[in-house]
Amino acid sequence: MGRLGLRLLAPLLTLPLLLGAQTEDAARHASMELDQARSLLQQGRLEAAAAAYRRHLALDPASYEGRLELGQILLSQHRLDEAASHLARAAELRPDAAPPYARLAQVLLLQERIEEAERSLLRARDLDPADPSVRYNLAKLYENLGREGEAIAEFERFIELAPDDPRSNNARARAGLHHEANNRLDEALRHFRDILAREPDRTSALHQTAGILYRRGRYDEAIPAYQELLRRDPGQWGAHVNLGFLMNVKGRALEAMAHYQRALELNPSHTESRFSLGQIQADQGRPDEALASFLKVAEAEPEHPFVHYAIGKILAKRGERDAAQKEFETHRRIQAEARKSQRTASTMQDDAARP
């Protein structure tokens, strides 16, 4: 049995046993079959357990536990139609109980009957608002449907209900990513920091944390976050690139250059690092080095959107106006073409226009 099956079956092992309105013998017999089914289930003998559940249900067709537990086994075996039938019957028998709806929703999800699955999960949630698994599944459902706000709400409720659940850090990561995508960077940051508090080695969370601090403009915090990321994973050339930018903004030009150089060692084809390195070299009054960097960029990427301007600027300052003019013309052409393609893609897209 796979992990999914075990997880699906786990809850039913602790369910209470209730007796139906049967004759005493039939009831005893039915009870024995149910005990046997559960014993077989605990042994992992699913087919035998299912057979026992069926015998139990033949004696007691109105057994809520029998329907629910058999439905669970069938779900784990991916026998979805049968599982749905038993779980739906269990729900009829105990319309006030959440588990049949929760499990039925899982069946429906696997059958891609999304709307019915959502209804079933919502019913389960209404009946048992404190069931974390229902919240988690609902969050995943909403996430798949692109309903980010509802997904976030359910992930966060799940985290509240089960902060130490093995799935909780995944929920934090999912909620964090959705917040980040929706420009709620502080909320996203809170989740990623919570992950790191529980799982300090999770470099993906460290990467997200650093990135959000960087986007948020909290450069003094982003710098140590990236440094920590590099300590744990020195091969993260992207972290070197971002640290290069951050150091430059902070006026730490030499450190910025070192980071861009390291990024280039790790990823020699990253022209943006070479371009940025050239910018700082130019800024530091080292035009020859800057020009060498820019020429390498232009060689690697002749249509680079900015490098011809950078080359032209150096030439213009040297008084080589004709050569500079040629570079500026190339820059202008590339910019015009980029603008034209932006227009083609969208006539009014501020993101494209605003730096």
Partner 1 sequence: MPPGPRRRPRLPAVLAAAGLAAASSESGSAIRFRDAAESAGITFTSTNGNPERNFIVETIGSGAAFLDFDLDGDLDLYLANGATLEPPGARRPTGALYRNDGRGRFEDVTAGSGLEIPFWGFGAAAGDYDADGDPDLYVTAWGPNRLFRNEGKGRFHEVGAAAGVDDPRFGASAAFFDYDNDGALDLFAANYVTFDPARVPAKGDPNSPCTFRGLSVMCGPHGLPGSVSVLYRNNGDGTFSDVTRDAGLFTEGTYYGLGVVTVDLEKDGLQEILVANDSTPNHLYRNLGGGRFEDTAVMSGFAYSNDGREQAGMGIAASDIEGDGDVDVLITNFSHDYTTLRLNDGNGFLEDVSMRIGLAEKTLATLGWGTAMLDLDHDGDLDMVIANGHVYPEVEEADIGTTYRQRIQIFESAGPLALKEVLPRPDDPAGGALERAEAHRSLAVGDVDGDGDLDLLATVLDGKPRLLLNESDTGAWLGVRLAGRRSNRDGVGAKVTVEAGGRRWSAERQGGGSFLSASDPRLHFGLGSAARVDAVTVTWPSGLTQRVGPVETGLYVTLVEPGQEAGKPASGKSLPP
- 237 sits near partner 1 (criterion: CB under 8 A): yes
* Residue among 89, 127, 94 at smallest CA distance from 107: 89
Among 27, 46, 161, 316, binds partner 1 (CB under 8 A): 316
| Tokens of residue 69, six digits | 């537990």
- 187 sits near partner 1 (criterion: CB under 8 A): yes
Among 50, 109, 151, 310, binds partner 1 (CB under 8 A): 310
- 159 sits near partner 1 (criterion: CB under 8 A): no
Q: How many CA atoms lie within 13 A of 103 on its CB side?
A: 35
Site string for partner 1, 78-117 (x = CB under 8 A): ----------------------------------------
- 281 sits near partner 1 (criterion: CB under 8 A): no
| Shortest spacing between CB 172 and partner 1, in angstroms | 16
| Shortest spacing between CB 64 and partner 1, in angstroms | 46
How far apart (Å, rounded) are the C-alpha atoms in residues 26 and 246? 77
Q: How many CB atoms lie within 10 A of CB 167?
A: 18
- 351 sits near partner 1 (criterion: CB under 8 A): yes
| Cβ-based nearer residue to partner 1, 142 or 214 | 214
- 192 sits near partner 1 (criterion: CB under 8 A): no
CA 305 vs CA 106, 280, 296, 309, 330: distances in Å: 50, 18, 14, 8, 9
Q: Which stretch binds partner 1 (CB under 8 A): 13-21, 22-30, 157-165, 321-329?
A: 321-329
| Cβ-based nearer residue to partner 1, 72 or 279 | 279
Q: Is 326 left (phi over 0), alpha (psi -120 to 50) or beta?
A: alpha
Length of the chain: 355
| Cβ-based nearer residue to partner 1, 81 or 322 | 322
- 335 sits near partner 1 (criterion: CB under 8 A): yes
Among 242, 281, 293, 330, binds partner 1 (CB under 8 A): 242
Among 169, 208, 281, 293, binds partner 1 (CB under 8 A): 208
- 185 sits near partner 1 (criterion: CB under 8 A): yes
| Shortest spacing between CB 347 and partner 1, in angstroms | 5
Angle among Cα 231, 233, 236 to the nearest 5 degrees reads 110
How far apart (Å, rounded) are the C-alpha atoms in residues 177 and 150? 14
Among 2, 146, 166, 251, binds partner 1 (CB under 8 A): 251
Among 18, 21, 197, 348, binds partner 1 (CB under 8 A): 348
- 120 sits near partner 1 (criterion: CB under 8 A): no
Contact call for residues 203 and 222 (beta carbons, < 8 A): no
- 232 sits near partner 1 (criterion: CB under 8 A): no
Q: Is 112 left (phi over 0), alpha (psi -120 to 50) or beta?
A: left
| Number of shown-chain residues binding partner 1 (CB under 8 A) | 68
| Cβ-based nearer residue to partner 1, 14 or 344 | 344
Counting beta carbons within 10 angstroms of the beta carbon of residue 164, is it exposed (0 to 12), middle (13 to 18) or buried (19 or more)?
exposed
How far apart (Å, rounded) are the C-alpha atoms in residues 342 and 355? 14
Contact call for residues 115 and 142 (beta carbons, < 8 A): no
H/E stretch holding 321? helix 321-345
* Residue among 32, 9, 6, 3 at smallest CA distance from 19: 32
Where does 43-97 have alpha helices with state H? 46-59, 64-76, 80-93
Residues near partner 1 (CB under 8 A):
177, 181-187, 204, 207-208, 210-211, 214-220, 237-238, 241-242, 245, 248-251, 253, 263, 267, 270, 272-273, 275-276, 279, 283, 305-310, 312-313, 316-317, 321, 324-325, 328, 331-332, 335, 342-343, 346-355
